[in-house]
């Protein structure tokens, strides 16, 4: 049986907010880290990051993309009842459970290469962080 009170709900909301804020800071760190590759040699990137997930070339540039995709599962929570006493009266309040669900986290980092040098770095996705 799970018993949730207003205090535990407030604590959960606070933890989610802190996690989101830390995610923003970490995303900034990730962007700063990949931008440090600008000016570096393509071979050094591949030696450090490994083979890219995909690549694309034009007449003037090459694009190396690294993907990190993960599926995660949040299990369901059971329904419960919160019992409260007020004076001589006892009240029961049902608390609905939540269904389990799958969510995906992803980060796609693309480096633009010209003349064997990295000239641009970009990351997109919901899990580009350090």
Residue 128, exposed/middle/buried by CB under 10 A (0-12, 13-18, 19+)?
buried
For 93, the 3-state DSSP assignment is strand
- Taking the whole predicted model, whether its pTM rises above 0.85 is answered as no
Question: For the chain, which residues make up each domain, given as ranges?
Answer: 6-124
Radius of gyration of the chain (CA): 24
Task: Write the CB contacts of 98 (distance below 8 Å, at least 6 apart in sequence).
Answer: 76, 77
pLDDT tens string, the chain, 130 residues long: the values are 444 444 444 444 444 554 544 445 588 999 999 999 999 999 999 999 999 999 999 999 999 999 999 999 999 999 999 999 988 999 999 999 999 999 999 999 999 999 999 999 999 999 998 7
Distance CA 26, CA 49 (A): 19
Taking the alpha carbons at both ends of the chain, their separation in whole angstroms is 36
């Amino acid at each position: 049986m799970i018993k949730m009170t207003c205090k535990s709900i407030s604590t959960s909301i606070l933890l989610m907010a802190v996690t989101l804020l830390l995610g923003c800071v970490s995303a900034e760190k990730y962007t700063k880290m990949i931008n440090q590759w600008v000016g570096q040699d393509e071979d050094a990137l591949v030696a450090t990051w490994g083979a890219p997930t995909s690549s694309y070339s034009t007449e003037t540039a090459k694009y190396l993309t690294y993907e990190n995709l993960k599926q995660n599962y949040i299990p369901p929570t059971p329904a419960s009842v919160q019992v409260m006493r007020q004076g001589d009266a006892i009240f029961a309040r049902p608390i609905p459970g939540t269904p389990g669900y799958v969510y995906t986290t992803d980060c796609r980092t693309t480096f633009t290469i010209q003349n064997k040098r990295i000239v641009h770095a970009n990351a997109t996705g919901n899990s580009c962080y350090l």
